A and B are shown apart, each in its own frame.
Chain A
Amino acid sequence: MEGTPDGKPPEQRRLVLLANDAMRARRRPVAIVVSWAYELLLAAAIAWPAAAYVGGAYGGHPSGDAPLFRPGGLALADLLLRARPVTAVLGAHTAPLFALGLVLGLVPLAFLIVQIAHVTPARRTPPLALALPRAWAAFPRFLALLLAVTLLQAFVVVVGLVLAGATANLATNGLGEARAQQLGAVVFFVFGALAATLGVLHDLARVAAIRFDVGAVRAARLAASALRRGFAATTWSWAWRAAIGLVPVALAALLSSRLGGRAGAFWAMVILHQLVVLARVALRASWLAKALRVVDGAHRVRKAADAADALDPAT
């Protein structure tokens, strides 16, 4: 994994690095749309059997699935309770597809990073034929990082839960149950923040792996030192985007409860919901571009970047 693999196909060498300031998500709308399309297709594949079950049960109703959306949830609860025999089937389909989609999702992610970080010598967006092989080549490194960081995060969360529970138990006598549980929540919050920071480090390592074309371990080291240098600014960049990402979801929920069930609202909801998903993908891309600028700023790699640095950042 360590170092740059030798003997790369010639076309991959035809991508050059963009200047630090030129790495912007908004210049790569196609890559953002590709990521969104991947999520939509995967979600559709996962949701299909459940949707078919609903169609089988309520397609014969003159109002279709409208009873399932009536206030009070009578028909919905009835259908869910009756779905117990088929949950095994749905689970058997969903779980492996979900896991596979999660792992394969590393490829569109790498593709997005490659696109943001590079440009053709002719200053064009890297075409699929050039960007995809590079993204595919990063897959083993991304997979290694994913496994390592997920394990670490799980460990941190479990330790946080155990310590939070112990804190709450120990403090109950002195502080009373509610205050002790609040203290436990604070303890857990600290570990939750640590797990989120590991997530930030994970993204920095990924962009470092692409930017500097290095292995997983080297990428993780570069990411760690970059994070150390600009800890507050970097985590803030991630946090505000994560927080803002919740806004469209909440807005859509609000609109959906107002519009839901009205005639003609269906396509409005489709568009609204997909815009929400697309907006969140764009925010993620924006963060990845920022992560690229952070690691690049921390570790200029002269020999690779020289060519691109000469380019006009406004390209």
Chain B
Amino acid sequence: MRTRTVPARIALGGLFVAVAAAISDDARGEAPPSPYDSDAQMALHADPVASYTLRATLDPAAHTLHGEGTITWRNTSRVAVRELWLHLYMNAFKNERSVFLRTPLGGGRGAGRPTDWGYIDVRKLALREPDATTVTDVWSGAEVSRPGDPDETDARVPLPREVLPGDTIALDVAWDEKLPTVLERTGYDGSFHMIAQWFPKVARLEPDGRWAHFPFHRLSEFYADFGTYDVTLDVPQSFTLGATGPMVESRLEKGRRVERHVQTDIHDFAWTAWDEWQTATETIGGVQVTLLYPPGYRVDAKRELESLRFTMPYFDKRYGRYPYPVLTVVHPPVAAGEAGGMEYPTFITSGGPWYGPPGILAPELVTVHEYGHQYFYGLVATSEHDWPFLDEGLNSFAEQDVMSKWRGAGSWVDLFGLTVDGGAMHGVLSNLSVHDEKVAQGAADFMTGGSYGTLVYFRTSAVLETMRRVYGDDLVLQALGRYARKNRFFHPGPDELLTNFAEVLGPQAAATLRTAYFEKGWVDYVVTEVRSHPLHDPAGVFDRDGKRETVREGKTAGAHEGWVVVHRRGTLSFPVDIELALEDGTTQRVRWNGEGDSTRVPFTGGSPLRAAVVDPDDRVLIDQVRTNNFATAPASARASTARSTEKLVYWTELVLQAVLP
């Protein structure tokens, strides 16, 4: 069904080995400096490839839209092309034969059916000849679907002539569109309109001349070239607009509100129109932030602004300065919740009810996550279709990193003394699916939405968080920051990520990353044996000075000796601490490089060995089973769990009091 060539994957191994070999064995803390450790040499602008000058007129009563304008596109590949591929995303909601609606994936976001269908009808697509006066229709020859596959989201448009490498063409375009009831990111609910994936969009042409086109799949997001978007929006006067890029013109005419938004260096454009939007604005680090929220949701707007006040400067510092003058945050009403939690250049959607308790950090998390996509998807424009872990995964790490630095251990929940940390949850949850599928695969290759979610988002993040805890905050963030700055306005693949990690953290760490993402890598440290006995002279039969002597019991000296056996299960390895707990209450720590299958830790001490713990500080977040990370010596008493018993009894008493007659 899908055709996706895999040269990137094959090239990956070779490139990686070459880079790894060129770097010293242990680069910890000795990474050669790179100009990309700061913003100094970061690209200021993207190479414009696909630019759109569009005008859209919305009829919010009929939920229809008329669009027209011009697309200019440049062939930046090495080969001449005679066709264009156009994404017609809105046709995903046209009928149940679309790839989006027919793919068997179970529940989750986008799992419902629209109660009102959505579709796009291209009315005109015409190539302007170089003389700029004549135009040639190219739409009549277009192929909207393939034989045997009724999906209409991926159109092939043959061109009347070749477009040579470096040549630019201009296309006049016009279309009519019907919006669906809101379903996964786009559509309407009453007079609320979220308008995304709404215009005919040129697929990206890779340097080797391969079109990165694909039908719209429920688990897949997008991939496009950078360009300038100059979009004029026309809605009834009573509607408030929010859109990608700064507003450069605004006027009211004949009962209509007309706004023009222009932004360079972006690769998508989304907008919203609603006659109930409330607005809040604030300038954060020179960026004008606009919040659009429903009446009664002021509390969420405040929480979202507060999270951006911390996050935006942090991301500037970590991943390079945010290059756009504006950011629009849209908080859709709960009824249109599927429009929430989404990212477009300079335009993100958050979500959640107005009554969410402050200790459950849902609006903060969604806002921070979607803002993070300005970097991992927006500026570092990886293919979300081929490598979703490079946008959702890296961004989930960036999200939990900034959240934990802002809110500490309660980065998900901080309620009545109970704290739940996002990084910890990413680790625990991703362990559940690690053996099922690879992290590094195409969005459409995942068998279930569940494994897509836990592996792409949580596993990617948890592996990086493990590295952060093992190798240090500075090194991991240096590697990721270097990757983000160096690849700003480019379209990197996994190679570039691993290369940067090899440069900063050394080949061992990069190899770990590779195994974790490409080979379902996992690890489980296990303490299997804890033994000690009084140190004594050896007993037995000894021939000394020509005499045979039998020592029944060796003399003891008050000290104890013994050992701890720790195994490593799985395919990943990290250096770990092993803590030995003695009967007298003291502890000893030893470090194991974590490689090899097992280690035997010798012990000598002033009192018997009571127990041992591997990774006592929870650095290896992805340790598959935590309850085997420790063991008590057979002769020692097990430790008390009275505290949890007491809590369980007390809470049960409170529940009983609430329901007892």
Q: List the interface of chain A (C-beta within 8 A of B).
A: 39-40, 42-44, 46-47, 50-51, 54-55, 57-75, 77-79, 81-82, 101-102, 105-106, 109, 142, 146, 172-173, 176-179, 181-182, 202, 249, 253, 256-257, 260-261, 266, 269-270, 273-274, 276-277, 280-281, 284
Contacts and interface: CB of A to CB of B under 8 A. Distances in A.
B425 interface: yes
B40 interface: no
Contact of B424 (A68, A72, A179): A72
Given A106-B661, A257-B417, A43 B656 contact: yes
Nearest to A249: B654
Contacts of A101: 656
13 contacts: A43-B650, A44-B649, A58-B641, A60-B630, A60-B632, A62-B632, A68-B644, A71-B409, A72-B410, A176-B294, A177-B335, A277-B650, A280-B657
Given A78-B431, A269-B643, 7 more contacts: A43-B652, A51-B641, A69-B643, A75-B626, A82-B625, A177-B295, A181-B354
Contact of A173 (B190, B353, B418): B190
A57 B417 contact: no
Contact of A61 (B419, B431, B630): B630
A178 B294 CA distance: 8
Given A43-B656, A182-B296, A77 B646 contact: no
A60 B648 contact: no
A82 to B, nearest CB: 7
A178 B297 contact: yes
A69 B642 CA distance: 12
Nearest to B652: A43
Interface in B255-311: 276, 294-297
Residues of A contacting B: mostly: helix
B631 interface: yes
B574 to A, nearest CB: 16
A64 B639 CA distance: 5
B190 A39 contact: no
B645 A51 contact: yes
B611 to A, nearest CB: 4
Contacts of A69: 643-644
Contacts of B419: 71-73
Contact of A181 (B355, B421, B630, B654): B355
Interface in B377-405: none
Nearest to B419: A71
B631 A273 contact: no
A176 B295 contact: yes
A266 B420 contact: no
A58 B613 CA distance: 11
Interface string B606-638: 000011110000100100011100111000001
Contacts of B295: 176-179
Interface in B430-444: 431-432
B642 to A, nearest CB: 6
B427 interface: yes
A220 to B, nearest CB: 15
A46 B648 CA distance: 9
Nearest to B299: A178
Nearest to A103: B661
Interface in B300-337: 333-335
A211 B659 CA distance: 24
A247 to B, nearest CB: 13
B370 to A, nearest CB: 21
Greatest chain A CB density within 10 A among B579, B610, B630, B648 is at B648
B428 A65 contact: no
Contacts of A43: 649-650, 652-653, 656
Contacts of A146: 661
Greatest chain B CB density within 10 A among A77, A179, A202, A270 is at A77
Given A47-B649, A78-B626, A81-B428, A178 B643 contact: no
A72 B421 contact: yes
A42 B656 contact: yes
B541 interface: no
Given A60-B630, A79-B627, A101-B656, A51 B296 contact: no
A105 B655 CA distance: 14
Nearest to B527: A60
Greatest chain B CB density within 10 A among A74, A105, A109 is at A74
A273 B646 contact: yes
Contact of A102 (B420, B581, B659): B659
Contact of B646 (A102, A270, A281, A284): A270
Contacts of B646: 266, 269-270, 273
Contacts of B641: 51, 54-55, 58-59, 64-65
A67 B639 CA distance: 12
A287 B202 CA distance: 73
B653 A256 contact: no
A43 B661 CA distance: 15
A244 B112 CA distance: 46
Given A40-B649, A257-B417, A269-B646, A102 B613 contact: no
Contact of A179 (B296, B427, B649, B653): B296
Given A71-B408, A74-B421, A47 B645 contact: yes
A54 B649 contact: no
B640 interface: yes
B360 to A, nearest CB: 13
A77 B424 contact: yes
Given A42-B656, A60-B631, A62-B630, A74 B428 contact: yes
B660 interface: yes
A273 B645 CA distance: 13
Greatest chain B CB density within 10 A among A63, A177, A249 is at A177
B627 A72 contact: no
Contacts of A71: 408-410, 419, 421
Contacts of B645: 47, 51, 54-55
Across the A-B interface, the 9 shortest Cβ-Cβ residue pairs: A178-B296, A72-B421, A257-B417, A64-B639, A71-B409, A62-B581, A59-B638, A74-B424, A62-B611
B409 A72 contact: yes
A256 B334 CA distance: 36
Given A39-B656, A47-B652, A178-B354, A65 B644 contact: yes
Contact of B294 (A70, A177, A269, A270): A177
Contacts of B335: 172, 177
